[in-house]
């Protein structure tokens, strides 16, 4: 029996099983050009192939592909948050940042070198690294500084805050993106989007009430302020991404590669400060989770971009599903780290996710 995979219109994949009749096997000439599932080598001289059954994944199932990819990306992002928390807890944050970004840069450096050696031989077209002019490089450097600032604030916050509080704060990013777009770019949210903003802000206020029970005062706590700065800086970076990708026209892989490489020198000043001023008080503790930070983020982005590339994909749905990464971090924080206020935090997270859904899907 032979299974033949045949592409069909509208993203269909049809699989047909064929059986070679036993009484014709002796006469089968594999070099013959007559029919059969193997095309020009499929049969001949009396060989008879009989279709047994067909099944496939049609256009209706295609939607499940990008939805599934979005969920996989969310799980990877949740694992990324967990690895950051494990790497940063009671550890030297500047050193963790430099090591993790260097690992990510090393992964992309392979493709960059490949391009300069033999650009025509890269096997995957969407991973091709294209050249940038001087202006393009400076624009990417600016993005690297933004991302470095966001990651530094976030990792310091993760070091000191419970994961079940830090991750939900980070998940409010769509709110700040819309607010910044409203103030800076003159965009006008719809009535439904304003409703989503109110829901997120109310849930965020409820989180401050829950956090107060654990001794965390959102208004006065500097680590909450760090996570807020990380989230707002990340939102600015998202808007800047739109400018770089759509207005400037930098390809996705090219942007990812160069900004990851420039992240390394952007992290060096903070590392040097730690090395000279704080190394003795807070020495680096090597943990395997440090090595997982960049690969998990790169994998999450890779799956995300493949989901977005699907012509049937809805970016609003993808963005919402990606926010579900907070659930992964929350479950880990409660289960593995034994963090408290489970029911109250779960209600706040549900409110934030509801607000994000309203913002992105119904706005």
Using DSSP, state whether 171 is helix, strand or coil.
coil
**Cβ neighbours of residue 242 closer than 8 Å, sequence gap 6 or more:** none
The tokens of 182 are what?
């409203």
132, 250 Cβ separation under 8 angstroms: yes
What's the rounded Cα separation, in Å, for the pair 120 and 179? 43
Closest CA to 174 of 327, 353, 299: 353
pLDDT at 277: 87
pLDDT reading at 22 higher than 60: no
In DSSP notation, 20-80 reads: E-GGGGGG--TT--S-STTGGGS--TT--EEEEEEEEE-HHHHHHHHHHHHHHHHHHHHHH
Query: Which has the minimum average pLDDT: 52-56, 125-129, 245-249, 292-296?
Result: 52-56
**Cβ neighbours of residue 264 closer than 8 Å, sequence gap 6 or more:** 98, 101, 102, 105
Q: What is the pTM of this model?
A: 0.69
Any idea what the Cα angle at residue 129 is, between residues 107 and 81, rounded to 5°?
A: 40
What is the mean predicted confidence (pLDDT) over 134-155? 93
**pLDDT tens per residue, range 54-104:** 334 344 455 558 878 888 988 999 899 899 888 988 889 999 999 999 999
End-to-end C-alpha distance for the chain, whole angstroms: 52
| 288 Cα distance to chain centroid | 21
Query: Which has the minimum average pLDDT: 46-50, 200-204, 240-244?
Result: 46-50
For 257, other C-beta atoms within 10 Å of its C-beta total 26
Average pLDDT of the chain is 76
């Amino acid at each position: 029996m032979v299974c033949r995979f045949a592409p069909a219109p509208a993203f269909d994949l049809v699989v047909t099983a064929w059986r070679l009749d036993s009484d014709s096997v002796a006469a089968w000439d594999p070099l013959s050009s007559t029919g059969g599932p193997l095309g020009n080598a499929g049969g001949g001289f009396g060989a008879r192939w009989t279709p047994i059954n067909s099944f496939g994944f049609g256009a209706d199932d295609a939607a499940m592909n990008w939805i599934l990819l979005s969920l996989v990306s969310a799980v990877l992002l949740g694992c990324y948050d967990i690895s950051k928390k494990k790497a940063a807890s009671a550890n030297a944050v500047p050193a963790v940042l430099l090591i993790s970004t260097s690992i990510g840069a090393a992964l992309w450096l392979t493709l960059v070198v490949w391009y300069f050696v033999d650009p025509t031989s890269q096997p995957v077209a969407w991973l091709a690294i294209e050249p940038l002019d001087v202006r393009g490089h400076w624009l990417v450097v600016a993005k690297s500084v933004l991302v470095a600032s966001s990651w530094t604030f976030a990792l310091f916050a993760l070091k000191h805050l419970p994961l079940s509080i830090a991750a939900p704060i980070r998940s409010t990013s769509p709110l700040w993106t819309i607010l910044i777009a409203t103030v800076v770019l003159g965009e006008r949210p719809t009535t439904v989007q304003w409703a989503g903003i109110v829901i997120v802000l109310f849930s965020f206020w409820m989180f401050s009430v829950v956090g107060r029970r654990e001794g965390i005062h959102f208004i006065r706590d500097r680590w909450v302020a760090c996570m807020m700065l990380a989230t707002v800086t990340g939102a600015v970076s998202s808007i800047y991404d739109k400018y770089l990708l759509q207005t400037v026209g930098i390809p996705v892989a090219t942007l990812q590669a160069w900004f990851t490489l420039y992240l390394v020198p952007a992290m060096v000043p903070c590392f040097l400060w730690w090395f000279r001023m704080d190394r003795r008080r807070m020495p680096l503790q090597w943990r395997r989770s440090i090595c997982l930070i960049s690969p998990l983020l790169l994998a999450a982005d890779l799956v995300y971009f493949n989901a977005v590339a699907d012509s049937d994909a809805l970016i609003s749905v993808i963005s919402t599903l990606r926010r579900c990464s907070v659930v992964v971090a929350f479950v880990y924080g409660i289960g593995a780290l034994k963090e408290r206020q489970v029911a109250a935090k779960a209600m706040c997270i549900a409110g934030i996710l509801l607000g994000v859904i309203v913002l992105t899907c119904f706005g």
